[in-house]
Chain A
Amino acid sequence: MDKKKIAIIIISILALGGIGYWAYRHFMYKSGNADKDNRKIRIFRTDND
């Protein structure tokens, strides 16, 4: 395998990694925001007072 092919493979892996990281951050952002906005915690008494 010549150096050019190796360089293309490395660049491709890095590019895919970058896209994957962006997607991960993007969806984590959405998920974190949605969790906080949609959470509703209610406190009840066990004796139903």
Chain B
Amino acid sequence: MALTSVNVPVKELKSPASWGSRAAIKNLIGKGWAKYGKYFQQASQTSNIPVEMLVAFATVESGMNPNAATGATTGMMQWNRNDGYANAILEYELKNGRMSEAEKAILKRKGVKWDVSGKFAPITAAQQLDPELNILIGSIYLGQYADSMFRGMKESTLWGGKDGVTHLDRIVVVYNTGGGGKDGQKARSGQYSTAELANQVNPVSSAYIKKIMGVDGALDIITKEFKGVIE
């Protein structure tokens, strides 16, 4: 078992005050967990991604709101159904033998279809709004990134994690930007520390790292205020 760790909060980073107070973020997380906790736990089990991480991403992405929408970027985990990545992520997972029977069963139950060659039918807007399905697919994205997989290939820089460390900052940037642009390439180069990466990427991704990993950020709040509950 390859054990890697994430250490939070990163003391050099502070969650932006404009995102909301610690009490307000705690309230969002608490309400979201009460409604959707079972789906986060399920996705954590199928993806092997810690439930705290999944909740943190959903808190930053949608404020734990399954109806949050910006065009085709919708739902709890705010992936885009039209940019081709969501279908590609599912196809990589299936073709690389990573998709478990439990994940297949949930996808089928939610009406997601794929053919014998492993090609998936487009995810519909209604499917994307389903919190259980949205969290599951988000967890598959994060699982591939944690394993340094990009567009179906495991990359030699092992940017997602190695030597006992999961590089959550790099995973955040790839999740937020899609990973192919300048900032995604910086993250995938594996050359920068968390603070260096946060200082070099675009303002949205920089704020995202701080909201996830910084003082008063989502993981700081989850691991302290929800200790023994969200874990």
**A and B are interacting partners:** yes
- A: residues with CB less than 8 A from B are 28-33, 35-46, 49
Q: Are B9 and A30 in contact (CB under 8 A)?
A: no
27 A-B pairs within 8 Å (CB atoms) are namely A28-B96, A28-B153, A29-B96, A32-B98, A32-B154, A35-B2, A35-B98, A35-B149, A36-B47, A36-B48, A36-B98, A39-B4, A39-B143, A39-B146, A40-B2, A42-B50, A43-B5, A43-B8, A43-B50, A43-B53, A43-B219, A44-B5, A44-B6, A44-B8, A45-B7, A46-B7, A46-B10
Set of chain B residues within 8 Å of A41, measured between Cβ atoms: 3-6, 48-50, 53, 146, 161, 166
Instruction: Say yes or no for B147: interface residue by CB 8 A criterion.
Output: yes
Shortest Cβ distance from residue B33 to the other chain A in the assembled complex, whole angstroms = 16
Q: Is the interface of B mostly helix, strand, loop or mixed?
A: mixed
Instruction: Enumerate B145-200 residues with CB–CB distance to A below 8 Å.
Output: 146-147, 149, 153-154, 161, 166
Set of chain A residues within 8 Å of B223, measured between Cβ atoms: 43, 45, 49
Tell me the count of chain B residues lying within 8 A, CB to CB, of chain A. Answer: 33
A33-B155 Cα distance, complex, nearest whole Å: 15
Q: Are B11 and A46 in contact (CB under 8 A)?
A: yes
Closest to B2 in A: A38
Q: Are B1 and A40 in contact (CB under 8 A)?
A: yes
Instruction: Enumerate B16-58 residues with CB–CB distance to A below 8 Å.
Output: 47-50, 52-53
Q: Are A46 and B8 in contact (CB under 8 A)?
A: yes
Q: Are A46 and B2 in contact (CB under 8 A)?
A: no
Q: Are A46 and B48 in contact (CB under 8 A)?
A: no
Q: Are B147 and A40 in contact (CB under 8 A)?
A: no
The listed residue with most B CB atoms (<10 A of its CB), out of A30, A32, A37, A46, is A32
Set of chain A residues within 8 Å of B109, measured between Cβ atoms: none
Interface 0/1 of B85-107, CB less than 8 Å to A:
00000000001111000000000
